[in-house]
Amino acid sequence: MSNSFPERSASSASNDLVCFSHLRWDFVFQRPQHLLSRFAKKQRVFFIEEPMFFDGESHLRVDKRQDELHVVQPYVKHGTEAEVLDNFLKGEIDNLFSESGIKDFIAWYYTPMMLRWTDHLQPSVTVYDCMDELSAFKNAPQELRDREAELISKADLVFTGGRSLYEAKRDKHPSVHCFPSSIDVNHFARALEINDEPEEQASIPHPRIGFCGVIDERADLELLQSVAELRPDWHFVMIGPVVKISEDELPRLENIHYLGGKKYDELPDYIAGWDVAMMPFALNESTRFISPTKTPEYLAAGRPVVSTPIRDVVRPYGEQNLVHIASTPEQFVNAIENAMAENADERLQNVREFMKDMSWDITQSRMSELINDVLKSRDEKASAVTV
């Protein structure tokens, strides 16, 4: 182990929060980062990532980021056999707990696969924050489905990242709670006042139709290409890393511009320069349960939005006429034209009314209340037994 470990500060809550995640903290700033950075203001948070394979000797790296947030990254030597890997990770996690003084803790899972190295732990509360239907993703192993069933049986609370996921999970556990994608309104509302835009985007002609997010098997690349071909006078800005698909699969036209991944703090600067924001998601198993965080982010930034008919976008955004819904390339083109013709002031007024009670602060607070209810119930049962 390559680091000294953090002691609990006097201001921290008594229960540490230990998160087990398939997502990297430094990849894309999304649901885990929004929620756990807020928990870290009051208690120690350890964000443990899945292993990264490299050419050196296996070790565990722990970095403090902000407040009481500690990112834990296992580095594992290439070629390590599965049994050796499992034993190494169990041992390193045990060492982390011992040297950091983690005793009473909340186990927070984003991936059931991490049970392989943590099923021997004894948390005070177990939370499964199900933000995606991972079993529906490309090349998902059967073990993931089996492990999810195991995790749900262990969990005290199951949170879901959207309404469709909630409907799919609510009969599998007695305490399932729907927490759809939320929004840091003030952060994205900055786009309404930005006049200077990033140099690499400033040279792209208008109209600009933009997307920001991970570009993977959930993107309908054929739709993107067809729309770009139908309107060669429009320019399509794609911001985000390309993941799990080959760069060769991306449509290459003069009016499609790939600008790569950007930091969360930079996104309003780019979105401010778009005429329309888009969500050209494919309709397949990997998108059946998604609740895109970018929906409220685009709206808070003051952009009209066009999306394919993703269930958690249609409900409620499409039903309340906040987002234009389109399926075919022709429909997508028509929807973009209608979006550009909208009354911007009227749309923004409707958006503000819709979002008045939406924030990651509120979501985190409600989650914390549910966790505290579980802890209180256990304390009361323990007191009744001792009496």
Number of compact structural domains in the chain = 2
Statement: residue 38 has pLDDT above 60: yes
Are residues 208 and 120 located together in one domain of the fold? no
- According to the model, what pLDDT value does residue 135 have? 72
Which are the contacts of 379, defined by CB distance < 8 A and separation ≥ 6? none
CA distances from 344 to 30, 186, 276, 347, 352 (A): 27, 18, 11, 5, 12
Are residues 377 and 326 located together in one domain of the fold? no
- According to the model, what pLDDT value does residue 18 have? 98
In a domain, 8, yes or no: no
In a domain, 24, yes or no: yes
Are residues 247 and 371 located together in one domain of the fold? no
**Cβ 240 vs Cβ 214: under 8 Å:** yes
Share of the chain above pLDDT 90, in %: 87
**Cβ 55 vs Cβ 77: under 8 Å:** yes
In a domain, 145, yes or no: yes
Phi first, then psi, for residue 322 (nearest 5°) are -95, -20
Are residues 178 and 208 located together in one domain of the fold? no
pLDDT interval class at 9 (50, 70, 90): low
In a domain, 10, yes or no: no
**Cβ 122 vs Cβ 61: under 8 Å:** no
Are residues 159 and 308 located together in one domain of the fold? no
Are residues 72 and 157 located together in one domain of the fold? yes
pLDDT interval class at 337 (50, 70, 90): very high
**What CATH number is given to the structural domain containing 26?**
3.40.50.2000
Are residues 140 and 175 located together in one domain of the fold? yes
- According to the model, what pLDDT value does residue 384 have? 73
- According to the model, what pLDDT value does residue 140 have? 72
Are residues 46 and 171 located together in one domain of the fold? yes
Tell me the per-residue pLDDT of 64-108, one tens digit each, with 9 for 90 and over: 998 999 999 999 999 999 899 999 999 999 999 999 999 999 999
Statement: residue 3 has pLDDT above 80: no
Are residues 150 and 231 located together in one domain of the fold? no
What's the average model confidence in pLDDT over 174-200? 95
Give the three-state DSSP class for 377.
helix
pLDDT interval class at 10 (50, 70, 90): very low
What's the average model confidence in pLDDT over 174-198? 94
AA letter at 192: L
Q: What's the rounded Cα separation, in Å, for the pair 295 and 316?
A: 11
* pTM of the full structure: 0.88
- According to the model, what pLDDT value does residue 309 have? 98
pLDDT interval class at 181 (50, 70, 90): confident
pLDDT interval class at 199 (50, 70, 90): very high
Terminal C-alpha separation, the chain: 44
- According to the model, what pLDDT value does residue 4 have? 55
How many other CB atoms are found less than 10 A from the CB of residue 119?
A: 12
Tell me the per-residue pLDDT of 203-253, one tens digit each, with 9 for 90 and over: 999 999 999 999 999 999 999 999 999 999 999 999 999 998 999 999 999
In a domain, 205, yes or no: yes
Residue 333 tokens read as: 């083109």
Question: Looking at 111-120, 354-363, 376-385, which range is the least confident one?
Answer: 376-385
Which are the contacts of 121, defined by CB distance < 8 A and separation ≥ 6? 93, 97, 107
Are residues 202 and 324 located together in one domain of the fold? yes
What's the average model confidence in pLDDT over 371-382? 89
**Dihedral through CA 213, CA 215, CA 216, CA 219, nearest 10?**
90
Q: What's the rounded Cα separation, in Å, for the pair 258 and 45?
A: 35
**Cβ 93 vs Cβ 115: under 8 Å:** no
Instruction: Please name which of 269, 274, 273, 277 lies closest in space to residue 296, comparing C-alpha atoms.
Output: 277
Share of the chain above pLDDT 70, in %: 95
Which are the contacts of 142, defined by CB distance < 8 A and separation ≥ 6? none
**Cβ 335 vs Cβ 326: under 8 Å:** yes
- According to the model, what pLDDT value does residue 156 have? 98
Mean per-residue pLDDT over the chain, rounded:
93
Are residues 22 and 95 located together in one domain of the fold? yes
In a domain, 7, yes or no: no
Are residues 194 and 329 located together in one domain of the fold? yes
In a domain, 342, yes or no: yes
Phi first, then psi, for residue 346 (nearest 5°) are -65, -40
In a domain, 9, yes or no: no
Q: Which domain holds residue 231?
A: 185-354
